[in-house]
Amino acid sequence: MFCLLYAWGVYNIPILAVGVRHLRRSRGRDSGARVDVGNLPSFSIVVPVKDEEKVIDRLVRSLLRVDYPREKFEIVLVEDGSADETYGICADYVERFPSEVRLLRRPVSDGKPSALNYALRHVRGEIVAVFDADSVPSSDILRRAAEHFAASSVAAVQGRLCSINGQESMLSKFISYEESVRYGTYLNGKDVLNLFVPLTGSCYFVRRSVLNAVGGWDGGSLSEDTELSARLVEAGHKIRYASDLRSWQENPSSLGQLFRQRARWFRGCMEVSMKYGKLLRKVDRQCIDAEVTLFGPFVFVLLLLSYLFGLFGLLGWVRLDLFMTLFAEGTVLLATVTLLLIGLGLVCVSRPRRLRNLLWLPFIYGYWSLQSFIALFALFEIVFRRPRRWVKTVKTGTVTDGIF
């Protein structure tokens, strides 16, 4: 157990360090590529929607403001059996903007990946962009995405997700910081080192030809974005992270929302990890890094077990010999170094940089403990073969961060 924690921690610390270093050096830079107006690729922006009457209007308005030739993109709304006014709102936009907005309706809902596959059969763009209903993408997002796809070797691009409700509660504020570090340092470091960059559910772009070649999304997966990422890497395709592609969206503001969301994410990731264990057989750093990344939820479970093991040792219920004591102390050291790197990330991602963000580090440690319990719950669901259920994260339309 301790050996796995050591290996995972030692492996990821350099990625975080590179991400922090690159973040400090590259702030304000863009992709560097430029695409002639006549060669701009076409986009199909796909948005699965179900019971999203509080946010769908905001999303469509933001997409219609995108700075890109109108004949070069389409907005495809996949209405997935809503019980509220979502369908009526979508239909109204189709009537008002028939050349830009299309509506596909499915009376029976069986999850986001199935809705995405349904849309894939109807889209026309060269590149498929996926957003959630609560997203608010920047107006230049398609132009910047086109620049990243100027390289033919790029099959998919993951943009940066920012919080739109970071001030709603202490939890949403904390998650907004967590996401800033995740995108600003961890994924940044992976991209710089040419490692595995996972797609994260929204604000990502994939060539339609590549999607068709790999068979679209796995309709039975609880983490369809992660599963698609693993399948793309298995097929030898390149996924890039692009910090200049920005979209704002809601984070959970209550513990109940967080638990339901992360339990689905963790279970989905664990199942993908077991499904694609074969990636380790390939002598390829992206494949190996993909499996190491997918092992993350299991690390949370191991962390919880190590906490309990250390507690039992302090209480005298378990006798720790010198070897085990050194391992336990080493684990604490690794956790401390990781926290310090995350703290640097929190300082660097803020504009202007704020040293007081370091005060969030104790909460991060407690947050890791909470994540460990959620990961253990997800593992129990797998072990006891509980039915897979696509649990939708409820969106309220709350805006606190003043992005408009």
Mean residue pLDDT of the chain comes to 86
**Could you tell me if residue 99 is inside a domain?**
yes
* Same-domain check for residues 96 and 233: no
| 20-29, 168-177, 348-357, 370-379: which is most confident | 370-379
* Same-domain check for residues 77 and 180: no
* Same-domain check for residues 339 and 257: yes
CA distance 79 to 107: 8
If one counts every other C-beta atom within 10 angstroms of the C-beta of residue 332, the result is 11
Token reading at 180: 């800033």
User: Which of 93, 115, 141 lies at the terminal end of a domain, its last residue?
Assistant: 141
**Could you tell me if residue 402 is inside a domain?**
no
User: Which of 91, 115, 141 lies at the terminal end of a domain, its last residue?
Assistant: 141
**Could you tell me if residue 211 is inside a domain?**
no
For 123-136, write each residue's pLDDT tens digit.
Answer: 999 999 999 999 99
Nearest-CA neighbor of 137 among 17, 247, 18, 23? 247
CA distance 380 to 267: 9
**Could you tell me if residue 210 is inside a domain?**
no
Looking at residue 220, what DSSP letter applies? T
User: Which of 141, 167, 186 lies at the terminal end of a domain, its last residue?
Assistant: 141
If one counts every other C-beta atom within 10 angstroms of the C-beta of residue 301, the result is 22
For 65-104, write each residue's pLDDT tens digit.
Answer: 999 999 999 999 999 888 899 999 999 999 999 999 999 9
**Could you tell me if residue 97 is inside a domain?**
yes
* Same-domain check for residues 28 and 114: no
**Could you tell me if residue 24 is inside a domain?**
yes
**Could you tell me if residue 83 is inside a domain?**
yes
| CATH code of the domain covering residue 114 | 3.90.550.10
Query: Residue 242 pLDDT more than 90?
Result: yes
Query: Residue 15 pLDDT more than 70?
Result: yes
* Same-domain check for residues 122 and 178: no
* Same-domain check for residues 40 and 168: no
| 103-107, 237-241, 347-351, 363-367: which is most confident | 237-241
Range of the domain at 52: 34-141
pLDDT score, position 28: 46
CA distance 195 to 197: 6
* Same-domain check for residues 73 and 92: yes
Nearest-CA neighbor of 299 among 7, 13, 18? 7
User: Under a CB-based contact definition with an 8 Å cutoff, are residues 117 and 217 in contact?
Assistant: yes
* Same-domain check for residues 249 and 109: no
**Is the pLDDT higher at 344 or at 60?**
60
pLDDT score, position 356: 64
**Is the pLDDT higher at 104 or at 325?**
104
Report residue 182's pLDDT band, with 50, 70 and 90 as the boundaries: confident
* Same-domain check for residues 94 and 240: no
Q: pTM score, two decimals? A: 0.87
Report residue 143's pLDDT band, with 50, 70 and 90 as the boundaries: very high
**Could you tell me if residue 48 is inside a domain?**
yes
User: What does R_g of the chain's alpha carbons equal in angstroms?
Assistant: 21
Residue 37: Cβ-neighbour burial (10 angstroms; 0-12, 13-18, 19+): exposed
Query: Residue 367 pLDDT more than 80?
Result: no
- Give the DSSP H/E element, type plus range, for residue 366: helix 361-383
Q: In the chain, how many domains are there?
A: 2
| Separation in Å, CA 258 to CA 135, 177, 264, 295 | 18, 15, 10, 20
Pairing of strands 136-137, 238-249: antiparallel
Give the percent of the chain with pLDDT over 90.
57
* Same-domain check for residues 323 and 385: yes
Edge-to-edge strands, sheet with 238-249: 101-105, 73-79, 43-49, 127-130, 204-207, 154-163, 238-249, 136-137
**Is the pLDDT higher at 266 or at 334?**
266
* Same-domain check for residues 75 and 182: no
* Same-domain check for residues 134 and 176: no
